[in-house]
Chains A and B, each alone.
Chain A
Amino acid sequence: MQKIGVFVCWCGSNIAATVDVAEVVQAVKTQPGVAFATDYQYMCSEAGQSIIKNAIKEHDLTGIVVCSCSPRMHEATFRKTAQAAGLNPYMVEIANIREHCSWIHKDKNEATQKAIILANAAVAKVNLNAPLVQGESSVTKRALVIGGGIAGIQTALDIAEAGYEVDIVEKEPTIGGKMAQLDKTFPTLDCSACILTPKMVDVAANENITLYTYSEVEQVKGFVGNFSVTIKKKARYVKEDLCTGCGECMSKCPSKKGKDEFNCGLNNRTAINIPFAQAIPNVAYIDAEQCIKFKTGKCGLCEKTCSANAIDYNQKDEIIEREYGAIVMATGYEPIKLDKFDEYQYSKHPDVITSLELERIMNAAGPTGGTLLKMSDKEHPHSVTFIQCVGSRDISGRGKPYCSKICCMYTAKHAMLIRDKYPDVEVNVFYIDVRTPGKNFDEFYRRAVEEYGVNYIKGQVGKVYEKDGHLVVQAVDLIANKQLVLDTDMVVLATAIEPSKTARDLASMLTASIDTNDFITEAHPKLRPVESPTAGIFLSGVCQGPKDIPETVSQAGAAAAKVIGLLAKDKLLTNPCVAHSDELLCNGCSQCEKVCPYGAISYIDKEVNDHGVRETRRVAQVNEALCQGCGACTVTCPSGAMDLKGFTNRQIMAEVDAICK
Chain B
Amino acid sequence: MQEVIKKRVKELFDNNTIVRAIGWENGEFFYDHTPAVFDSAADMDVFVYDNFCASNLSKYLINHCAPEGKTLVLLKPCDTYSFNQLLTEHRINKDNIYIIGIGCDGMVDIDKIRALGIKGITKITQNGDELVIDTMYGEKKCKKADVLLEKCLSCKGKKHMIYDELISENEDEMPQDASKRFDLVNELENMTSEERFAFWQNELSKCIRCNACRNICPACSCRKCVFDNSASGVASKANADSFEEKMFHIIRAFHVAGRCTDCGECTRVCPQGIPLHLLNRKFIKDINTLYGEYQAGETADQRGPLTDYTQQDVEPTFISDKEVK
Contact = CB atoms under 8 A, between A and B. Distances in A.
Interface of A: 505, 508, 584-591, 594-595, 597, 603, 618, 636, 638-640, 649-650, 653
13 contacts: A584-B223, A586-B223, A587-B222, A589-B90, A590-B90, A591-B307, A594-B304, A597-B309, A603-B90, A638-B222, A639-B223, A649-B232, A649-B233
A597 B309 CA distance: 9
A640 B223 CA distance: 11
Given A505-B311, A508-B311, A650-B233, A588 B224 contact: no
A512 B256 CA distance: 30
Given A638-B256, A639-B225, A639-B226, 17 more contacts: A508-B311, A585-B224, A586-B223, A587-B90, A587-B91, A587-B223, A588-B90, A589-B89, A589-B91, A589-B221, A597-B309, A636-B307, A638-B255, A639-B224, A649-B233, A650-B231, A650-B233
Interface string B236-279: 00000000000000000001100000000000000000000000
A653 B90 contact: no
Q: Which 10 A-B pairs have the closest CB atoms?
A: A589-B89, A639-B222, A594-B307, A638-B255, A588-B90, A640-B226, A591-B307, A640-B232, A595-B307, A587-B222
Nearest to A650: B233
A4 B309 CA distance: 41
B298 to A, nearest CB: 17
Contacts of B255: 638
B183 interface: no
Given A505-B311, A585-B223, A594-B303, A640 B90 contact: no
B308 interface: yes
Contacts of A603: 90
Nearest to A516: B317
Contacts of A639: 222-226, 229
Contacts of B229: 585, 639-640
Given A585-B229, A640-B229, A618 B90 contact: yes
A584 B311 CA distance: 35
A587 B89 contact: yes
A589 B233 CA distance: 23
A636 B308 CA distance: 11
Contacts of A591: 89, 307
Given A638-B222, A639-B222, A639-B223, A588 B311 contact: no
Interface residues of B, number: 22
B224 A590 contact: no
Nearest to A582: B231
Contacts of B221: 587, 589
Nearest to B255: A638
Interface string B89-100: 111000000000
B233 A653 contact: yes
Nearest to A509: B311
Interface of B: 88-91, 221-226, 229, 231-233, 255-256, 303-304, 307-309, 311
A289 to B, nearest CB: 23
Contacts of A594: 303-304, 307-308
A502 to B, nearest CB: 11
Contacts of B256: 638
Nearest to B256: A638
A254 B197 CA distance: 72
B1 to A, nearest CB: 34
A618 B309 CA distance: 24
B44 to A, nearest CB: 29
A330 B305 CA distance: 32
A594 B308 CA distance: 6
A500 to B, nearest CB: 15
Contacts of B232: 640, 649
A649 B256 CA distance: 19
A590 to B, nearest CB: 6
Nearest to B257: A638
Contacts of A588: 89-91
A286 to B, nearest CB: 28
Name the residue among A505, A585, A590, A597 with the largest chain B CB count within 10 angstroms: A585
B306 to A, nearest CB: 8
A239 B226 CA distance: 61
B261 to A, nearest CB: 15
Contacts of A595: 307, 309
A56 to B, nearest CB: 29
Name the residue among B222, B232, B308, B311 with the largest chain A CB count within 10 angstroms: B222
A508 B223 CA distance: 35
Nearest to A653: B233
A475 to B, nearest CB: 35
B38 to A, nearest CB: 24
Nearest to B219: A638
A638 B227 CA distance: 11
Contacts of A585: 222-224, 229
A641 to B, nearest CB: 9
A636 B256 CA distance: 10
Contacts of B304: 594
A590 B221 CA distance: 13
Contacts of B225: 639
Contacts of A587: 89-91, 221-223
A588 B231 CA distance: 20
A590 B304 CA distance: 11
Contacts of A589: 89-91, 221
A649 B235 CA distance: 14
Contacts of B89: 587-591
A584 B222 CA distance: 11
Nearest to B220: A638
B152 to A, nearest CB: 28
A508 B316 CA distance: 14
Contacts of A586: 223
B5 to A, nearest CB: 31
Nearest to B225: A639
A618 B90 CA distance: 8
A587 B62 CA distance: 11
A649 B229 CA distance: 13
B92 to A, nearest CB: 11
Contacts of B226: 638-640
A586 B221 CA distance: 11
Contacts of A653: 233
A597 B308 CA distance: 10
Contacts of B303: 594
A594 B255 CA distance: 16
A618 B223 CA distance: 12
B230 to A, nearest CB: 12
Contacts of B224: 584-585, 639
Nearest to A585: B224
Contacts of A505: 311
A597 B229 CA distance: 28
Contacts of A597: 309
Name the residue among A505, A584, A594, A638 with the largest chain B CB count within 10 angstroms: A638
